[in-house]
Amino acid sequence: MLDIKFLRENPDIVRENIKKKFQDNKLPMVDEVIELDKKARETQQEADALRASKNKIAKEIGGLMAQGKKEEAEAKKAEVAVNAKRLTELEALEAELQEKITKIMMVIPQIIDPSVPIGPDDSCNVEIQKYGEPVVPDFEIPYHTDIMEKFNGIDLDAARRVAGNGFYYLMGDIARLHSAVISYARDFMIDRGFTYCVPPFMIRSNVVTGVMSFAEMEAMMYKIEGEDLYLIGTSEHSMIGKFIDQILTEDQLPQTLTSYSPCFRKEKGAHGLEERGVYRIHQFEKQEMVVICKPEDSMIWYDKLWQNTVDLFRSLDIPVRTLECCSGDLADLKVKSCDVEAWSPRQKKYFEVGSCSNLGDAQARRLKIRINGKDGKYLAHTLNNTVVAPPRMLIAFLENNLQADGSVKIPEALQPYMGGMTEIRVK
C-alpha cells in the first residue's frame, strides 16, 4: 500500500505506474482518493478547531461563573453543546472518509522497481540466467505420477475418496523422499545463517489483508467458518505477520527466518494437462525464507534469496533458470519478483518451482512494522522466497534423477536424509 502523502504529491507517478501494470481501470482511483483525502483533511481541521474551541470556552465558563455571570455562562454552555454535536458528526465523517481512502489505497499497486521489464502478462517475463546443463535422456521420461506409482509411492484415487481432487497420499520411498527434501532444505538454510521457525498455520483476517492483495486472498485463501481465521497459503503469511504492529531497532535487523509449514490453496482457475498429478494441489508442504530489513538493504537481500534457491537445486543436480517477472505479472504489493524454474526432461522445458519477491514497504505499511532509527521511525522492507515446495520439487527431482532401468538416483547431498540410500528401486 502506498503512502497517501506520496500519492498526494506524486499523482502522475502513481498513474504512470498503474499504466505500466496494465491496470488502466484503476486510473480514476487516483483522483478519487485525492478528493477524499482533501475532504478528510478539511474535516480533521474543522474538528481540531472545535476541540480547541471547546477547551477555550470551558475556561471562559469557569471565569464567568466565578464572576457570577450565570446567563453568559449558560450561553457559552449552549455553544459548547452545539459544537459537541457538530464534532460528533465530523468524527463520524472523518472515520467514513478514512475507511473509503484505505479501501482504495489497498488496491492501488505498489510502485515497481525501475529494473522491472514492462509487459502485460507472464509471456513477457525475461530469462535472466541458466544454471546447469539441461539434459534430455535417450529414454522416455514418464509423467511424474506414473513414476511415483511404479514405486507404490502415491495414491490419488484414495485421496479423491477422502478429500476430493487436488489431494494425494504419498507412501513408502516417495514419502520418505518428500520428507528428506524438506529436512535437507531446512538444514541448508540454517547453514546459511537463517533462524528456523515453525509458525501458526492459521492467521487472522487483519494479517491476511496485511500480507496480500484482495485478489490473491479471494483466489487462494480458505476461510475457517464461524471464526476470524484463515488457513495459510504459505508460511510467509505467518512469518511476516509475526511482526505486526512491532517497532524493531536497527541492531535487530536483518531478521532472517526460514520456516516450515503445510500450505492450503484454493488454486482457482487451474486447468490443463500439467495441472493434474501434484503440480497444482490444494495442500502441500513448503520450506520458506523471509527477511525483514532496512530499506537500503532490501535489493541486496533480494539477490541473496533467489541465489539460495538456485544453489539448493544445483546441489541436487537439478538444472534451473531464473526468470524476471514483468510488470503485468507482479502482484500489486510487489516491487520486484523473479521465478526460479527447474528443468523438466519430460516436457523439454522449464517450469516454476519457486518465487522470490521484494515487497518494499507495502506489507510493513499495512501491518505497521516499523524500525526505530537514529533519525526517527521508518517502515521496514519485507522479502520472501521459496526454498522448496516438495510436490513440484519432487517432479523436478524424479525427472532429472530417473535412470534408464527405472531407478532414481539419490544425490550425495540428500543421502544422509535417506538413511544412506544411493538410489530407490522398484520393489
Whether residue 187 is found in the same domain as residue 245:
yes
Q: Report phi then psi at 173, rounded to 5.
A: -65, -30
Whether residue 56 is found in the same domain as residue 139:
no
Whether residue 367 is found in the same domain as residue 229:
yes
C-alpha cell at 352: 516454476
What is the rounded distance in angstroms from the CA atom of residue 89 to the CA atom of residue 86?
5
Stretch (H or E) spanning 54:
helix 27-66
Structurally, the chain folds into a number of domains equal to 2
- Let me know if residue 9 belongs to a domain: yes
Q: Report phi then psi at 373, rounded to 5.
A: -100, 180
Whether residue 156 is found in the same domain as residue 68:
no
**What domain range is 280 assigned to?**
122-424
Strand ordering across the sheet containing 283-293: 126-131, 320-324, 336-344, 349-358, 381-388, 283-293, 255-264, 195-197
Which tens digit of pLDDT belongs to each residue from 85-123?
A: 888 889 999 999 999 999 999 999 999 999 999 999 999
Q: What percent of the chain has pLDDT over 90?
A: 81
Whether residue 244 is found in the same domain as residue 380:
yes
Whether residue 100 is found in the same domain as residue 151:
no
Q: What per-residue confidence (pLDDT) applies to 109? A: 95
- Let me know if residue 117 belongs to a domain: no
- Let me know if residue 110 belongs to a domain: no
Whether residue 189 is found in the same domain as residue 312:
yes
Three-class SS state of 397: helix
Whether residue 316 is found in the same domain as residue 413:
yes
pLDDT range class, residue 64, cuts 50, 70, 90:
low
Supply the CATH number for residue 13's domain.
1.10.287.40
Q: Which among 111, 118, 117 is positioned nearest to 362, based on CA atoms?
A: 111
Compute the average pLDDT of residues 183-205: 97
Supply the CATH number for residue 137's domain.
3.30.930.10
pLDDT range class, residue 66, cuts 50, 70, 90:
low
Question: Pick the residue with more confidence: 278 or 268?
Answer: 278
User: For residues 336 and 307, is the Cβ–Cβ distance under 8 A?
Assistant: no
- Let me know if residue 175 belongs to a domain: yes
User: Of 53, 77, 105, which residue sits at a domain end?
Assistant: 105
Compute the average pLDDT of residues 316-339: 96
**Whole-prediction pTM:** 0.90
Whether residue 238 is found in the same domain as residue 333:
yes
User: Of 73, 105, 137, which residue sits at a domain end?
Assistant: 105
Whether residue 328 is found in the same domain as residue 194:
yes
- Let me know if residue 116 belongs to a domain: no
User: Of 80, 105, 130, which residue sits at a domain end?
Assistant: 105
pLDDT at 263 over 90: yes
Mean pLDDT lowest among 89-98, 204-213, 262-271, 364-373: 262-271
Q: What percent of the chain has pLDDT over 70?
A: 95
Q: What per-residue confidence (pLDDT) applies to 102? A: 93
Whether residue 205 is found in the same domain as residue 266:
yes
Which tens digit of pLDDT belongs to each residue from 274-311?
A: 446 788 889 999 999 999 999 999 999 999 999 999 99
Beta bridge partners of 376: 373
Whether residue 180 is found in the same domain as residue 56:
no
